[in-house]
Amino acid sequence: MALVVCAFSAVASAQKPQAILPQLYLDTTYNPPVGGTTWAAHTSAQLSSALNTSAPGDIIVLDAGVTYAGNWILPAKTNPNNKWIYIISSQLAQLPEGQRVSPANAVNMPKIVTPNAGQVLRFNSGANHWRLAGLEITTASTQGCSPTHNPPINCFSYSLVDTATSPAVLPDSITIDRSYVHGTPTIDLQRAIQANASNYAVVDSYISEVHMIGTDCQAIAEWASPGPFKIVNNYLEAATDNLMFGGAGGANNPYIASDIEIRNNYLFKPLSWVDLSVNQREMVVKNAFELKNAQRVLFDSNTIENNWANGQVGFAIVLTVMTSQSGNIAVVNDITVTNNILKNVVSGFNIVAKDYTCKPPTTPNCTTAGSQDRFYIANNLITFYDPQLVGGVRNAGMQLAVGTDYINGGIPGVPRDIVFQHNTMIPAASTPCWNSVVFANNTGQTINHITNNVWLLDNVLCREVGWVQGAAPLVNYMGDPTTPPYDITQRFRGNVMYAPPGDKIQTYPAHNYATTVPFTYVDPATGNFQLLSPNWTDTTDGNIAGVQYNSLP
């Protein structure tokens, strides 16, 4: 797996912040090894034999349409030349490279299945250079179920594709390619892919039916890896978090997941799960994309669809450092979120500056509240879930919360170095949004300047910022820095804001516009929410405020 190296540098906090992009990108071009042995594994026993006796440079071919039942370990092998072992479908040619697979493609895949709650495939400590291509990976577990219970209790499985739990040497160079990884409606699955390995890629794959009664679950989760990662062109379906980095690992976790490329994915929660999660309190629903410990992340051209309130309040994207869970060196720094659609979500973005759960004696091994720096959030479309429906609560576009730093005397954290530009928020048809941008101070202390170096530019906002108290608190919310050319007149600029009936039009810095006239868009019926009126181009770059539709996925 080749690495492309790109160099970027951060700018001082007194200037417009610039998030550092990933510095390493994984090359996942399909390039099967030549010159080695090709193993034809027609049975489960032959698959076990091939996994154990194959050498780097070999190919293991599994028969499409055949079921292989068991729990397999992919071992470490002596591999000084970093050669790959490919495990592929005999009908891989029917699954073109670069095209996302779906359940309809399962006919061209071998089915690898666990008969119990254990993993299907586990990469052992030190295992490296394995590529899985064109496989169906699933579960037939009969553990834990009670069909006579009212309502019935599903059987369950843990991770399907797993890594060693406490590896002396992390697995390395793993690629999941054009594979269908899934639970079932009646078999709960806690995690499809546990990605605690370096140089890990998931491409062109379909992950679905990830849910578990009363338990957090993820389509893809990582909490112990330095990266890099590539998550590109996948369907990711999970109840709690579709995709998450961090959230476990313990106080001494030595890793920060770094250099993460996430592009062209579809993160989806079926609306048929709403009643299960809210009424019967079975599925735990939280977010679509969450970072608790990561740096240099690119989240671009993805679609998130459906996120409602259940285990949390329904933010689609959560960027919140959690040292108490992820380790004392955890950060959420240098995050770029661009050109995404957040469709039918209760709220958009939640950002917390410090880990407010890092608090002795509750978490005695947590010694730092973490770091949050340099976010660039641009050209994202947010359409809100109806708050009057089951699972609905008040809608918010972005929340900037302080988080109390108990390690340093209980001082408030400060959300810092954030650019929020050319984003559009569309209210639900039934009601105006509750707030476009929320500045949250839940510390009980008086804070003069809640944020530092936050830039709100060129957005179409579903409600005035500071509408509850008027525009004057903007100086409190966004006061630092105070000196030109980085004062609030430059950092709050080019925005169009709607004032629904009952709201008073407030006074804002020049080059912003608030109106009681409802906005219109180019073609809402087809999802084109580029602003039509007002035709507001008094923006920092001369483009019309809000999203640029042609750049969305």
pLDDT tens readout for residues 228-247: 999 999 999 999 999 999 99
The pLDDT value recorded for residue 134 is 98
pLDDT band for position 224 (50/70/90)? very high
At residue 214, the pLDDT reads 86
One-letter amino acid for residue 423 of the chain: N
Q: Would you state the pLDDT for residue 467?
A: 58
Complete DSSP assignment for 45-109: HHHHHHHHH--TT-EEEE-TT-EEES-EEE-----TT---EEEEETTGGGS-TTS---GGGGGGS
Q: Looking at residue 12, what is its pLDDT? A: 42
Q: How far apart are CA 488 and CA 482, in angstroms?
A: 7
Shortest CA distance to 79 belongs to which of 33, 136, 44, 112?
33
Q: pLDDT digits over 210-223, tens only?
A: 999 889 999 999 99
- pLDDT per position as a tens digit, 388-417: 999 999 999 999 999 899 999 888 899 999
Say whether pLDDT at 514 is over 80. Answer: yes
Give pLDDT tens digits for 13-44. Answer: 458 999 999 999 999 999 999 999 999 999 99
pLDDT of residue 470 exceeding 80 = no
- Over the stretch 137-155, which tens digit does the pLDDT of each residue have? 999 999 988 888 877 788 8
Q: Select from 182, 385, 431 the least CA-distant residue to 274.
A: 385
Whole-model pTM: value is 0.95
Residue whose token pair is 């546990």? 194
- Going by pLDDT thresholds of 50, 70 and 90, the confidence category of residue 278 is low
Alpha carbon separation from 301 to 267, 317, 378, 509 (Å, rounded) = 11, 14, 11, 32
pLDDT of residue 445: 65
Q: Is the pLDDT of residue 9 over 50?
A: no
What average pLDDT score do residues 289-310 get? Answer: 97
Per-residue pLDDT at 15: 86
Please tell me the predicted confidence (pLDDT) of residue 232: 98
Structure token digits, residue 385: 């879930």
Q: Report the alpha-carbon distance of residue 542 to residue 535 in Å, rounded.
A: 11
pLDDT at 182 over 90: yes
